[in-house]
Structure 1
Amino acid sequence: MPRRTECYLYSDLPQEPLPATHPITALDNVVLTPHAAWYTEQSYTELKRRALEGVADVLAGRSPRNLVNPDVLEHPRFARVDAQD
């Protein structure tokens, strides 16, 4: 049976950068990555590309680039699998 994967995005945190002691970093179902607060058409395109690459990495069992809370990958939900080329 295929594994069901749900993805959500929340980008309105109370403080940037988020302190490592913030309660959200302890959740075993949250992957945190940084974001940038600037805008140009080129940067916006790059930002979308990187976000999609991060989602693709997680879905393929790889660690996403710029992961803020790497301990989350130890949770069984994010068990890594070897991607087949």
Structure 2
Amino acid sequence: MTPEETKEIQKCLETVSSILLQNTPSEQLKDFGSIELAVRDRVLKEVAPEIGKFFKQQQSDRSRLPPEKSRPAWVNGE
């Protein structure tokens, strides 16, 4: 991952974090343990499924390509 991509991910995560914080009840934000549970719950319910859909779609798109094109370039020696 390039430094620019890392910065982009960080910016997106800050946006997502802000949205999740605004939509998390204040009683779940009283101590580190409850914050951790709230974050984990939100990630599992909101974030992970979307990331999973994206990777599933990518895998599906690759399965329609010829075998030599469906693998990452580095596997093919490119």
- Normalising by structure 2, we get a TM-score of 0.34
- Normalising by structure 1, we get a TM-score of 0.32
Which structure features the higher share of helix residues?
2
Q: Which has the larger radius of gyration?
A: 2
